Amino acid sequence: MKLHYYPGCTLKEKAVALDISTREAMKRLDVELVEPEGWTCCGAEYPLTEEKIVGLAAPIRVLRQVRDEGGEVLVTTCSFCFAVLKRANKALRDDPLKRKRINAFLRDDIQIDPLTKARTTDFEDYNGEVQVLHLLEYLRDRVGTPKIKSRLKRDLKGLAVAPYYGCRLLRPQEEMAFDEPDAPRVFEDFLEAVGCSAVDYAFKQECCGSYLSVSLPDAATEASYRVLRAAQMEGARAVTVTCPLCFYNMDSRQAAIKEKFLDFSGLPVLYFTQILAWALGVDREVLGLGEHAVPADSLFEEVPTTEVRT
């Protein structure tokens, strides 16, 4: 089946491994991912000002394109993209004034027919028809654990992995409606479905430092250390994330973390789709596990790769 998929800008440049592993994994689950034609950046941050709502135009334009292509669901993996798209969609559904203003703004967009090259500006109003899902939700609710287990090709033997939610997936709760923010389970359930042992630890819902990585790198280094050290203390062999910025802070900063905090020995960081794709039988070279700042391929060298019988 075909499913609309929004990769976002970072997955095309800095987080290519997240994009590739997502596509490869979903192929093995009989899902063909289709990008909305002409998609653009969603804005990366949800606009909080109520006076100037032009920041909603970019994510709503993406959602309108999905609707116009006949899509009812849009999935994404990046936590920032997910938060922006889902919150913008809810804002449009719930607020008639915002809906009217944004549609009026977008009505003048120019659409060029790929065959005739005719230019039109006649767009139907978008009213929140598309459902925005994170891939973890889609795997849980639409694919289902039984199908995932039936397609596993490698036995991960209970590899201890710490799920990292970060600060974007769960909050604000009434807008994201992703999981219970104080006791989430969707990430843990995913890891257990593919054969890992999910490690519970403090700081799995705390911020890794986010954009402080640019303005206050020492603060981001300390925040990432707290997450990684907490996971390591509970026996995690790796931390898995959904967010490219979280990955950058916790993978690329480990040299700085080791220099500042002598009790930290290092911990591989992976995208959750790399684990999924590996369990489903995707080749190691495709997933780029050895290309991280802290290589993660050794994790799987220690795990038998015999095919799982179903």
- In the predicted model, what is the mean pLDDT of the chain? 94
pLDDT in tens, 184-215: 999 999 999 999 999 999 999 999 999 999 99
| Amino acid 115: pLDDT | 81
- Find out whether 169 and 205 touch, Cβ atoms under 8 Å: no
**Structure tokens, 47:** 């606009």
pLDDT at 308 over 60: no
| Amino acid 48: pLDDT | 83
**Structure tokens, 199:** 């490690």
Q: What ranges in 95-216 are assigned the alpha helix state H?
A: 96-106, 135-138, 145-151, 173-176, 186-193, 212-215
Secondary structure of residue 250 in the 3-state scheme: helix
Ranges 238-242, 259-263, 297-301: which has the least confidence: 297-301
pLDDT at 157 over 90: yes
**Structure tokens, 148:** 């995932």
- Altogether, the residues listed in the chain come to a count of 310
Collect all residues with Cβ–Cβ distance below 8 Å to 119 and sequence separation of at least 6: 110, 111, 112, 113
E strands, 12-164, in order: 32-34, 73-76, 111-112, 119-120, 131-134, 160-163
The continuous run of DSSP H or E covering 82 comes out as: helix 79-94
Q: Write down the residue that tokens 């997936």 correspond to.
A: 169
| Amino acid 304: pLDDT | 57
Q: Higher confidence at residue 112 or residue 18?
A: 18
- Find out whether 228 and 268 touch, Cβ atoms under 8 Å: no
How far from 12 is each of 17, 18, 287, CA to CA, in Å?
A: 9, 9, 15
Mutual orientation of helices 272-279 and 186-193 as an angle, nearest 10°?
Answer: 20
| Amino acid 309: pLDDT | 47
- Find out whether 29 and 98 touch, Cβ atoms under 8 Å: no
Query: Exposure of 273 by Cβ count < 10 A (0-12 exposed, 13-18 middle, 19+ buried)?
Result: buried
Helix count and strand count (H, E) for the chain: 16, 10
Ranges 21-35, 142-156, 234-248, 296-310: which has the least confidence: 296-310
> What's the rounded Cα separation, in Å, for the pair 309 and 153?
8
Structural domains of the chain, with CATH: 2-132 (1.20.1050.140), 145-301 (3.40.50.11810)
> What's the rounded Cα separation, in Å, for the pair 16 and 243?
12
Backbone angles phi, psi at 56, to 5 degrees: -80, -15
The verdict on whether omega for the bond into residue 7 sits within 30 degrees of 0, i.e. cis, is no
**Confidence (pTM):** 0.94
pLDDT in tens, 113-136: 778 888 777 789 999 999 999 999
pLDDT in tens, 75-123: 999 999 999 999 999 999 999 999 999 999 998 888 777 788 887 777 8
pLDDT in tens, 229-249: 999 999 999 999 999 999 999
> What's the rounded Cα separation, in Å, for the pair 139 and 73?
13
Q: Which of 130, 131, 113 is nearest to 122 (CA)?
A: 113
pLDDT at 165 over 70: yes
The strand pairing partners of 235, in sequence order, are: none
**Structure tokens, 88:** 């913008």
Backbone angles phi, psi at 132, to 5 degrees: -95, 125
> What's the rounded Cα separation, in Å, for the pair 100 and 261?
53
pLDDT at 302 over 80: no
pLDDT at 148 over 50: yes
